[in-house]
Structure 1
């Protein structure tokens, strides 16, 4: 039987090894620079890096609650962001540039 990670509906595996974190989720210097230039806060920077790395690994954007805490923590540390930095997945009314 095929593992869930190899199906058309990829998901994060329950236990991610340190090696897998480094191989699949460590942002390169170019990725860090791009994400930093494209965002206006540490929280958005972290969110964009998480989305990028998850997409590269899984081929889709996972839901916010599906990203394991260990991946969030690893990417936050790799980006050298402050410990209190958390990803921000919601957006306000003005995010689209239009009022409802």
Structure 2
């Protein structure tokens, strides 16, 4: 029987294994270059990549606050970031997604 995240309505796993983090949620060099072109600040680049990678996996957009921390940590480290200057929950309501 398929798991819930393998059905027609995929969801993000709350605890993806390391192999999945590396293969699915690590941005490629092309994706990192795209983030550099479309966003100026580190937070915007990070949020763009989180939305891109989760959309690639699910086929629909999610709120950043709903993305498991293990996934956001993987993307954050791929950007070379140690911390983020803003909370993700606030980014969802900021209007930055519609700008």
TM-score normalised by the shorter chain: which range applies?
0.7 to 0.9
Contact 1:26/1:78 (8 A) holds in 2 = yes
Contiguous gaps of at least 5 residues in structure 1: none
1:64 counterpart = 2:67: no
1:90 matched to 2:93? The reply is: yes
Q: Retained in 1: the 8 A contact 2:63–2:92? A: no
Point out 4+ residue stretches in structure 1 off by more than 6 angstroms.
Answer: none
TM-score where L is the length of structure 1: 0.81
Instruction: Please list every run of 5 or more consecutive structure 2 residues that lacks an aligned counterpart in the other structure.
Output: none
Return the index of the structure with the highest Cα Rg: 1
Root mean square deviation of aligned Cα: 1.9
The count of corresponding residues between Structure 1 and Structure 2 is 94
TM-score under structure 2 length normalisation: 0.82
